[in-house]
Amino acid sequence: MKPFNLQSLVRPNIWKLKPYSSARDEFSGSEGIFLDANENPYGNLNRYPDPHQKALKTALSETKGVPTENIFIGNGSDEVIDLIYRIFANPGKDSVLICPPTYGMYEVSANINDINIVSVPLLSDFQLDMDNILKQINENPSIKIIFVCSPNNPTGNRLRNVKTLLENFHGIVALDEAYIDFRADRSYLPKIHNYPNLIVMQTFSKAWALAGARVGAAYAQAEIVALFDKVKPPYNVSKLNQDAALDALSLKHEESDRVCKIMNEKEFLMEELEKLPIVKQIFPSDANFLLVQVSDADAIYNQLINKKIITRNRHSQIENCIRITVGTFNENRLLLSELKRISL
């Protein structure tokens, strides 16, 4: 087995890239007369934000127990996904391995970047098909990246074989933990120090309740974080976004309360959904949503829409399944009362 070699995985133009040096790179103090960046001297948001998000990284470092040099902040984790392709895969040449049904942006971003997709579907229990994955990575040297999502969207389960993947694949394993804060004890974050090929992606959009602010994070070895920093637009995370994330981190107890409330509501929803004749199966979930197999997903989805209750119809990926996000106390009861009324 070849040892891990970062340079061999990086697009040659990116390895050589001399990054943009922003005006604020040269002077980092907050006091002074700033005539360097062609900003407007008037107003509240007139100054460019910190391109290195130092305050946010320091706070995140304390919360997550990871040194700041191992943290990259993106404009949502969707930006992180795109950057991973732009750093590690050559358009028209390299491949990514993905395991559907999973988060759709791995495929969309691959297509935008003209990266070939090798698809190894999850098994019927929604776990990784390790035999097939190992076969693909051994036979196909063009595979530079594997995206895995745990807990997986839309199935909700955690994946079991991530460690085997990390030990057998010498490309980049991009582990999407968007939903991990609902089961934080299971995160792979501490493992970034053991595996040079691991990138853990997390987000403020779910447990931290900041989907509107667009803040995501990637955690990896410092050399990989430096590559992200090289490629990102200089001011990729606005001051408003950075401040929103900082505020959320300073109110950690609110995040724990929210997670607790959502998990209790999820239990309640599961118990009540199980009683409905239109519900055939509820899949185990470690996230803030449930994948529910029903008697007729299209009909039920449409009837809910008519009542202004929007769920996600996943029938095209998993037969007769809809994905239901856990809402507030009232929203969940309204959903259940409409589901009880549905006649097919």
Phi-psi region of 231 (alpha: psi -120 to 50; beta: other; left: phi over 0): alpha
Toward ligand PMP, which CB reaches closer, 94 or 177? 177
| From 149, 189, 304, 321, residue interacting with ligand PMP (rule: CB under 6 A) | 149
> Which string of x and - marks every residue 160-189 that binds ligand PMP (by CB under 6 A)?
----------------x-x-----------
Toward ligand PMP, which CB reaches closer, 74 or 171? 74
Toward ligand PMP, which CB reaches closer, 75 or 320? 75
| Shortest spacing between CB 203 and ligand PMP, in angstroms | 3
Element (H, E) at 117: strand 116-119
| Shortest spacing between CB 99 and ligand PMP, in angstroms | 12
Q: Is residue 214 within 8 Å of 75, Cβ to Cβ?
A: yes
| From 112, 211, 240, 344, residue interacting with ligand PMP (rule: CB under 6 A) | 211
Q: Is residue 191 within 8 Å of 166, Cβ to Cβ?
A: yes
- The Cα-based distances of 41 to 38, 48, 214, 241 in angstroms read 9, 11, 27, 21
Tell me if 311 contacts ligand PMP by CB under 6 A: no
For tokens 């950690």, name the residue. Answer: 252
Q: Is residue 70 within 8 Å of 221, Cβ to Cβ?
A: yes
Q: Which stretch binds ligand PMP (CB under 6 A): 27-35, 70-78, 226-234, 304-312?
A: 70-78
Tell me if 50 contacts ligand PMP by CB under 6 A: no
Tell me if 53 contacts ligand PMP by CB under 6 A: no
Q: Is residue 288 within 8 Å of 207, Cβ to Cβ?
A: yes
Query: What is the chain's alpha carbon radius of gyration, rounded to the nearest angstrom?
Result: 22
153/158 Cα distance (integer angstroms): 10
| Shortest spacing between CB 211 and ligand PMP, in angstroms | 5
Tell me the DSSP string of 121-161. ---TTS---HHHHHHHHHH-TTEEEEEEESSPTTT-PPPS-
**Of all residues in this chain, which one has the CB nearest to ligand PMP in the complex?**
76
Tell me if 203 contacts ligand PMP by CB under 6 A: yes
> Which string of x and - marks every residue 71-110 that binds ligand PMP (by CB under 6 A)?
-----xxx------------------------x-------
| From 70, 205, 288, 332, residue interacting with ligand PMP (rule: CB under 6 A) | 205
225/67 Cα distance (integer angstroms): 12
Residue 219 DSSP label:
E
Tell me if 241 contacts ligand PMP by CB under 6 A: no
Residues engaged in binding ligand PMP (CB under 6 A): 76-78, 103, 149, 153, 176, 178, 203, 205, 211, 216
